[in-house]
Each structure stands twice: as C-alpha cells, then as structure tokens.
C-alpha cells in the first residue's frame, strides 16, 4: 500500500484532502507616482474657461531729466498686458461589482471597496498624463467636441500656443529639442529661465528614466569610468549614492524628481523632462476629485469618480523642456 503524499491528487484520502494556502496578497505592477498632479498648487475655478493676465516691465533705460523739465508725454502702463486661458477637462473612471462577487470571500480582495481604490489610482494617472500632453485646448460644441485642456507640452513651446503673444511664449533657450544633451546644455537652459524672470531657485525638473540617468552621469568623465566629483559614501553601511536629487547651478538649486514613465509624452525613448517653476503654474479645479456611488438596481454596487480641472501656466517663459538626449 502506497503512503499518502502531497503530489498524488487522484487517490481518495491522499493529496485531495490537503488544504490550499492562498494568501490575501495582491500585486499590481504599474508606476503610480503623479509628481506633477501632486506638486502643483490647487486653485478654485468658477467657469469652463479659466483666464489669467500677464504683463511685462519696460526695458530699463538711462535717460537723464533736465532741471525744471516738465512732463510732456505719458505712457500707458498696461498696453502690453495680455490674457491667457485654458479650458477645463472632465476626467472619469467607473466601477461595478456584482452582489454575489461583493459577498464572496475573495483573495485580494475583489469587492466594491477595492474597486473604488483601483479606480482612484487609475484616474490620477489619467490626469497626470493629460497634464503633460501636447493636445490643443478645445471648447465643447454639442456636436462631438468636448472641453479639453492644453498640457505642458503645448504650453512650453517657443512657437505656441498660437493665441499666446510671442513676448509671453517660452524662449527657445529654455528648450532642448535637438543635439546631445550635456551638463552645459542644462546650465544654458537654467540661465535662459533666469533671464526671463530673474529667478531660478525653486525649479523642479520632472525627468523620465533615461534623462534621470543622464543627469546622474554628469559626475563622470566621458568614458563613465572616472568620477570627477565627490559622491556620498557611508562607510558603516557600505552604501554609495550616485543619484542626483538636487543640482546646484549658477542660478539656484534644481530639485530632480522621477516622471511617471507610462504617463510621459514619449514612452519609447524615455528622455523627456519638464523644468518647472512651481510659482508660475497651478491646477484650477472646477470640480475636485470625488467618488460617487449610484443606486443598486439589482446587478450590484456601482459608481464612478470624476474631476473637472485645467492647467494654469502663469507665464510660459518661466519653464523649460527637454525632448531628446541626442
């Protein structure tokens, strides 16, 4: 007579009696960080079209005034002022779980609470992707066109948006779109931003994976074998830190954070980056992100989450963009 064992499931009284060990662990393998959505300040919107004004100072001049000379001409201090705008966009994700599924003891688990949690994670990524998008804003017309915002890739462009006066567009020096990206290029971009508004402290570089690695390699010589700068070494733990979190330039300290790679404008080359001045950008919320549970009509619990918002770029010239490394 054979001994009972754990591998023979065909004989009564053998492995068919063994209880399975199935844990409640659930793994969702997907990047979830939303650095732009999380870091931009939030303001209240009150219409589907959100507008703000921008202005410039006259160039400084050296014009001496003679003694006793009267003022004979006057200037309009607001003639150079312009109005910029963006359209709000509604984001929505829905969920539904049957009564039976909601009542079953499932691993994971797979119930209405977990469905809502997953829904929240998905809609935040939708918003993050759209905030970086290059689509043009659109106005709902009842004939198929829906309200749509312009994202960072459209705003940070020396050629547009078309309705932004040229004096308020992003200077070409703020953008790296061709040629090899080097430390000199980065410093030139920071300098260009500084020349627009006289400040570059507080800049944040949201960098995709390849760009992030490229910046970390600034500490090496060309052969990537000889380190030319000091690195952090913890002798107690044996830890060597080569990642660059802060970059100190001639015009201030730049924070560097990871871009969500699945939300990036270029998911192939992974070399995109946005140089953002968070004082000159924000999110206008018409309807903040909320969860709504609908009436159960017999099939089970169901609901949705939505938010209506837009991106506000107070001055396109305060920001920069990297679109290629070579």
pLDDT for 31 equals 75
Mean pLDDT of the chain: 88
Spell out where 127-272 has E strands: 175-176, 203-207, 232-234, 239-241, 246-249, 252-258
Would the CA dihedral through 159, 163, 164, 167 be positive or negative? positive
Neighbour tally for 128: CB within 10 Å: 23
pLDDT at 226: 58
Structural domain contains residue 1: no
- Does 10 fall in a domain? no
Give the confidence band of 197 by pLDDT, cuts at 50, 70, 90. confident
Alpha-carbon span 85 to 52, nearest angstrom: 6
Q: How many residues does the chain have?
A: 326
> Is 77 part of any domain?
no
Place of tokens 């992100």: 289
Place of tokens 């199935």: 22
- Has residue 274 been placed in a domain? yes
Q: CA angle 37-217-267, nearest 5°?
A: 40
The domain of 224 spans 35-54+84-322
Which stretch, 10-19, 144-153, 294-303, has highest mean pLDDT? 144-153
Closest CA to 311 of 290, 274, 286: 286
**Residue 2 tokens, joined:** 């054979």
Band the pLDDT of 107: cuts 50, 70, 90: confident
Share of residues in the chain with pLDDT > 70 (%) = 83
Strands (E), the chain: 42-44, 49-54, 82-87, 89-98, 175-176, 203-207, 232-234, 239-241, 246-249, 252-258, 273-277, 281-294, 300-313, 320-322
What's the confidence (pLDDT) of residue 18?
66
65 is a domain residue: no
Give pLDDT, residue 81: 94
d(CA 118, CA 112): 10
Q: Is 281 domain-assigned?
A: yes
Does the pTM surpass 0.85? The reply is yes
- Residue at 104 is within a domain: yes
Q: How would residue 243 be classed by pLDDT, with cut points 50, 70 and 90?
A: confident
Domain for residue 99, yes or no? yes
Mean pLDDT of the 12-31 span? 65
8 A C-beta contact, residue 185 and residue 175:
no
The residues near 255 (Cβ < 8 Å, ≥ 6 apart) are 203, 204, 205, 245, 246
Q: How many domains does the chain have?
A: 1
Which band of pLDDT confidence, cut at 50, 70 and 90, is reported for residue 181?
A: very high
Contact by Cβ (8 Å): 42, 281: no
pLDDT for res 142: 93
> Token pair for residue 252?
């201030």
């Amino acid at each position: 007579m054979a001994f009972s064992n754990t591998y023979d499931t065909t004989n009564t009284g053998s492995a068919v009696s063994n209880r399975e060990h199935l844990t409640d662990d659930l793994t969702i393998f997907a990047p979830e960080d939303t650095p732009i959505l999380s870091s931009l300040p939030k303001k209240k919107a009150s219409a589907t079209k959100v507008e703000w004004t921008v202005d410039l100072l006259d160039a400084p001049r050296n014009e001496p005034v003679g003694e006793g000379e009267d003022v004979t001409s006057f200037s309009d201090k607001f003639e150079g002022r312009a109005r910029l705008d963006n359209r709000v966009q509604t984001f929505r994700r829905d969920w539904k779980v049957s009564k039976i599924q909601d009542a079953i003891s499932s691993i994971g688990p797979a119930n209405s609470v977990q469905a809502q949690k997953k829904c929240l994670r998905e809609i935040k990524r939708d918003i993050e992707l759209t905030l970086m998008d290059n689509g043009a804003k659109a106005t709902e017309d009842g004939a198929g066109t829906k309200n749509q915002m312009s994202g960072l890739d459209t705003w940070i462009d020396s050629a547009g948006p078309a309705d932004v006066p040229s004096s308020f567009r992003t200077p070409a020096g703020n953008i790296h779109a061709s040629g090899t990206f080097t430390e000199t290029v980065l410093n030139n971009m920071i300098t260009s931003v500084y020349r627009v508004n006289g400040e570059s402290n507080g800049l944040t570089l949201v960098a995709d994976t390849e760009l992030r690695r490229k910046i970390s390699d600034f500490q090496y010589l060309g052969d990537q074998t000889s380190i030319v700068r000091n690195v952090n070494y913890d002798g107690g733990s044996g830890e060597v830190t080569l990642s660059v979190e802060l970059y100190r330039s001639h015009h201030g300290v730049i924070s560097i954070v990871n871009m969500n790679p699945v939300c990036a404008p270029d998911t192939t080359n992974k070399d995109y980056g946005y140089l953002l001045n968070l004082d000159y950008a924000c999110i206008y919320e018409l309807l903040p992100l909320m969860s709504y549970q609908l009436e159960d009509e017999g099939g089970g619990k169901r609901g949705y989450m939505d938010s209506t918002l837009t991106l506000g770029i107070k001055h396109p010239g305060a920001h920069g963009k990297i679109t290629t490394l070579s």
